[in-house]
Every structure is written in structure tokens, then in C-alpha cells.
A and B are shown apart, each in its own frame.
Chain A
Amino acid sequence: MSGLIVLFERELKKWFGRRPVLFMSLVTPLIWIALFGKSFNLNALVNISAQSLIPPQLQGFIDPKVIEGMVKKALNKQLKSMFGTTDYFTFFASGMLVAFCIFQGAFGGVGVVFDKRLGYMRRILVTPVRRSYIFLAKLFGTLARISILSLLLLGTSIPLGFKFKPNLSIGDIIMPWVAVMLLSVFILSIYMVMAFYTDNQEVLFAASNLINLPLMFASNAIFPLKQMPGWLQTIAEYNPVTHAAYIVRYHLIGSPIPNYWESIIYLAASSTVLLAFSMYYSVRKMDMGV
């Protein structure tokens, strides 16, 4: 066990030691939330001048306030049915929590490639430490990093107007974290296989462009499924990112979830299967000589 702990500590030390990287990875969620979240301000659409909506012949007969109220109500109803909240920022910020671990997960894999290329991996492999610990240390290191950054992301979004659902319980904080961790395991498992397969970090960079954005867009992370064409909806329904976002939103902002347990089980199962394969493959690779 001490081998696992010391390798895990190394991951964190490296992260904290890289001041520019640490700074950027802390600032990134801030920027994302502040810029993206606020630029898609759909609520502004509701603030229209009701006066202009009333035909001239009816001017004076109808109170613009009533019209304004009706329009707002109609739009809010539409927004609520689309996003599960009247506040797009809250919808977006909670989706970002999920999207963020897609990108962070990719970095975990890059670390393995560099350890291989710079010979550090050989250095560890020549000791009697268990091969699975080497894999797990990278995994836990990445999960710890994502946990800290997600918390920061959420913390940042509160002063910017994130609206939690009323009566938030401890479970409503823990379960989104579990969902984010499961999704991170899913993503990282993919990248670990690639990292142990190749010695070239470029492969991972190319793959992250190929994988990350489609995973994000073919899900409800930043836009609801209802607005998607049928075929894309079908894809999104099989995307673990969608299910992680469902769970996160259900607990944090009280959005409806089609089937709570189905989402949890689907997410947990897909992460477990991928993790098992990824760990088996990585340990085998280490045994054969990286």
C-alpha cells in the first residue's frame, strides 16, 4: 500500500509544484463559467418591451404590464421545460462540472506518456511495487485534481448567480461528486489505454480533439436533449456524460431526471467495465515491458 500512497503523493506534488499549470488549471474553470455561462444569457430574451408587442389599434386598451407578464410566463415555461430551470446560467454551470472532467481526464493520460518517455516508468517498474498501484496512483491523482477543481468551479459559480434547489442535503452534494468521479474514471480509462499503447503524446492530443468535443456535444452537458434531432438524442442517451449531467443537475438544481437509478447504474457499470479493461491492459503492457 505504501507504494500506492507515495506514487499518489508524487502526482499531487507535481501538480502543486508546477506553479503555472496550477494557476491555469485553477483559473480555467473561473473563465469558463464567467464567460461562457454569462454570454449565453437566454433570460435577456425575456426582457422585451411589451409596448411594441401591442398592435396600434389596441394601444391604450391593454396594459403592457399584463402582456409583459404573459410573455415572460410563456418564455419561462418554455425555458423550464427545456432546461429544467428558468436560469440558463445554472443549467450551464452544472453541465460544466461534467464537461470539465472530460478535459481533465485527458491530462491524466498525458502524464503516463511522459513518464514512459522520460524513463521514470522504467525506474518504477524495476522495483517490486505492484503494477496495479502504478495505474491506480495515476487514476487517484487525476481524481483528486478533478475533485479540487470541480469544487472550485462550483464555488466560483455561486457568486455569479448559481441557484441551488431549495433544501439542499449532504447527499445532494455527495452524489454529484460521485457522478463526476465515475465519469472521470470512464474518461481516464480510455486515455490510460492510449497512454500505455503509444509513446507519442501527440496521439493523445489528437485523440482528445476527436473524443472530447463529441462527448460533450452529444450529451446534455451544455444543451438539453429535447432540442436535438432524434438520431443525436439516441446517441446522447448512451453517452455516460448525459447520465452524469442528469445526476448532477437532479441533486444540485432539482432538474427532472428520466430515471434516476437507471442513470446511476448505467454510469457506474460503464465506468467499471472500462476501468477493468483499462487496468488489465495497462498492467499487461507494464509486464511486457513499456
Chain B
Amino acid sequence: MPDNCAVEVMGLTKRFGDLVAVDKVSFCIPKGIVFSLLGPNGAGKTTTINMLSTLLKPTGGDAYIHGYSIIRDRGEVRQIIGLVPQDLTADDELTGWENVYIQAKLYGLPSGKAEEKTEEALRFMELWDHRKRRVSTYSGGMRRRLEIAMSLVNEPRVMFLDEPTLGLDVHSRRHLWGLIERLKEQGTTILLTTHYMEEAEYLADRIAIIDHGKIVVEDTPDGLKARIKGDRIYLRLGEEEAVSVVKALTEKGFNASLRNSDSIIVKVERSEEILPELISILQGRKLLEIRVVKPNLEEVFIELTGRGLRGEESFDSFKYRVMRRRMR
């Protein structure tokens, strides 16, 4: 095992009956970086995090957190990790302070030390002034910050953040990103799952794209973007025209392909220079929409998996209502 891996995952597999949720996943997270698992809902991100944080036993494979096996050394692993789950888990009948303090005590800290760590975590997440308020009165952003504060009390060496900004507005999301960056500056290794590509792009040093339980590719954000050389031009035409337009464009030397019955994707190096020519070729055709996309992770994802990041959500109506109520 390489020494610089804070998290070393080796052939990790989880089956639920016939469904293979995570399929022989392997990766290494070097110490002190933000590593992002990017993928649509149901890709296996949360299942992977649940296994790494000892909440779920793997069906196969193993993973080591600072050398401790998630199967054999669960007690040690729990001592050095922090998990911020996707759901809002804080007890909203208690105050912010009580929620964090309970966590500190669960790590076996004596009262004095637990109080100290509680204060540190609340101050770090900028919640100290609201510590005496019941969590039910917190805003969505505050609740997300509290979730992270609750995971900081044991000074984890590895933090698992499972969709930490799910459901937040842009402002609160930016704020949280800043705090996550500060965590990283303190030397914490962070594994972040997200299906917001801008989040992965902003925070992550390395990104692994996961789909159907498998890691499709792993690279730096720039490295990933470099994989799709150039821009993408999406064209939407009348249904009967798409096929013939592809043919016409291909004859002119364009890298054009049919996306579905009425839309075409044209891969070009620099769209600015190509567009005038493209439009002149399309003269007389029934062009409904033209869209230019610069290289981004969503495009990488589509390129690699053939579909977009926003899949169907798995839906628990009860959880959804609770979440809505809590996110006021």
C-alpha cells in the first residue's frame, strides 16, 4: 500500500441481492487533498461512503483508512474519521450546542475536553452565536454547517462529506465551500461525493467519476476536461432533417454524430472559429436550437457514460417532507 494514501480502497464491492451497488472499486486518496466522487444518484457514491465509514459491511474487497482496515479495525477507523451524511441528521429538538456535545461525548472525551471541542467546532463552522437555539429554528445553511460541526469534534484525519450542499441556495453553498477549503488547509483529507459538477470542480483536487457502481475514470479536474478536446455544439433540428444534416456535416469533415432523433452533437476544437461555417452549411435547414458548450465535467461525464449527471432521484416522500420542513 502506498504510504501517502490516507484512504486506500481495494476492490470494494457491495451487493444488495441481485443488485451490485458498488462493483470492485479501487482508488487511493493521498493525504490532505479533497477527492471527489462524482456521479448521478444511484451510482454507488453513498454506498461507498457508508462502507468506508464502517456503517455497512462490504460484500467483497477492503479499504484502509490510515492503515486501518474498515472490516477488521472498525473501532480504530471510527476514531479517526468524520462523516457528514447526506440527510440532515442533527436532532432538531435539541440545541446546536447539545447536538455537538453529544457527539464529543460519544467519542469518549471527558466533559471538559468535550466542551472545549464543542466550542471549537461551533466556532469553526460559525455557529457559536446560535449555539443555544433549538436546531428546528436553524436555516438550511446553518443546519448543513451544524452537520459538519458535529463531525469535527474528534478532529478527524479523514472526513467523508456526502452531498454536503444538497438543497442549499447558491450563497449558502459558496459559504460552505469556503469552510470546506479551510478544513483542507488544516490538513484534513476529504472525500466528497456530489452530483453538482461545479462543486467538484471548485473543491476537488482529484475527481473519480462513478457510474453503475464502477469508477469510470479518475483524474484531476483539468486532466478530465483535457480529455474532451475542444467544444461541443449541440444542434436541434426538425426530426426529418437530423440524419441528413449529420451526413452533410460529415462530408465537410466535421466530427458530427446523431444524439437522438432530432439532435446532433458536433465536436470542434474552437467553436468561435467554426460557428460561421457551420451556420452557412445549415442555411435553409429547419434549425430549432443551437447551443455551444465549453469543456466541463458534465461533458466529460456525458462523453464517458453517455448520459447526464442528473438521473432520477431515489425518493422517500417522508424524508422529502422532513427535509423540506427542515430547510426553511
What residues make up the interface of A, taking CB atoms closer than 8 Å to B? 2-3, 5-7, 10, 13-14, 17-18, 117-120, 122-129, 287-289
Contact = CB atoms under 8 A, between A and B. Distances in A.
B89 interface: yes
Centre residue among A7, A120, A127, A128 by max chain B CB count within 10 A: A127
Contacts of A3: 105-106, 108
A13 B54 CA distance: 29
Given A128-B108, A289-B56, A6 B93 contact: no
17 contacts: A2-B108, A5-B105, A10-B91, A10-B98, A13-B98, A17-B93, A17-B134, A117-B318, A118-B89, A118-B322, A120-B89, A122-B85, A128-B106, A128-B108, A129-B107, A129-B108, A287-B57
A99 B293 CA distance: 69
Interface in B39-85: 50, 53-57, 75, 78-79, 81-83, 85
B87 interface: yes
A14 B105 CA distance: 17
Contact of B89 (A2, A17, A123, A129): A123
A17 to B, nearest CB: 5
A119 B78 contact: no
Given A3-B105, A3-B108, A10-B102, A126 B93 contact: no
Given A10-B102, A118-B88, A120-B89, 5 more contacts: A10-B98, A14-B91, A124-B106, A126-B54, A126-B55
Given A10-B91, A10-B102, A128-B108, A123 B318 contact: no
B319 A117 contact: yes
Given A120-B89, A289-B56, A126 B81 contact: yes
Contact of A6 (B53, B55, B57, B102): B102
- 9 shortest A-B CB distances, which residue pairs? A119-B89, A119-B87, A289-B56, A6-B105, A127-B106, A128-B78, A123-B89, A129-B106, A126-B83
Contact of B87 (A7, A17, A118, A125): A118
B93 A14 contact: yes
B284 interface: no
B193 interface: no
A6 to B, nearest CB: 4
Judged by DSSP, the binding face of A is helix
Centre residue among A7, A13, A128, A288 by max chain B CB count within 10 A: A128
Given A2-B110, A10-B102, A128 B75 contact: yes
A128 B79 contact: yes
A123 B100 CA distance: 11
B194 interface: no
> Interface extent on B, as a size class?
35 or more
A104 to B, nearest CB: 19
A126 B53 CA distance: 7
A5 B106 CA distance: 10
B105 A2 contact: yes
A5 B154 CA distance: 19
B125 interface: no
B122 interface: no
B103 interface: yes
Nearest to B78: A128
Contacts of B110: 2
B57 A18 contact: no
B6 to A, nearest CB: 17
A4 to B, nearest CB: 10
Contact of B55 (A10, A118, A125): A125
Contact of B107 (A13, A117, A128, A288): A128
B89 A14 contact: no
A7 B108 CA distance: 12
A2 B82 CA distance: 20
Nearest to B98: A13
B217 interface: no
B98 A123 contact: no
Contacts of A288: 56-57
Given A117-B319, A289-B56, A14 B87 contact: no
A289 B55 contact: yes
Interface string B108-150: 1111000000000000000000000010000000000000001
B216 interface: no
A122 B319 CA distance: 15
Contacts of A17: 93-94, 134
Contact of A120 (B79, B91, B108): B91
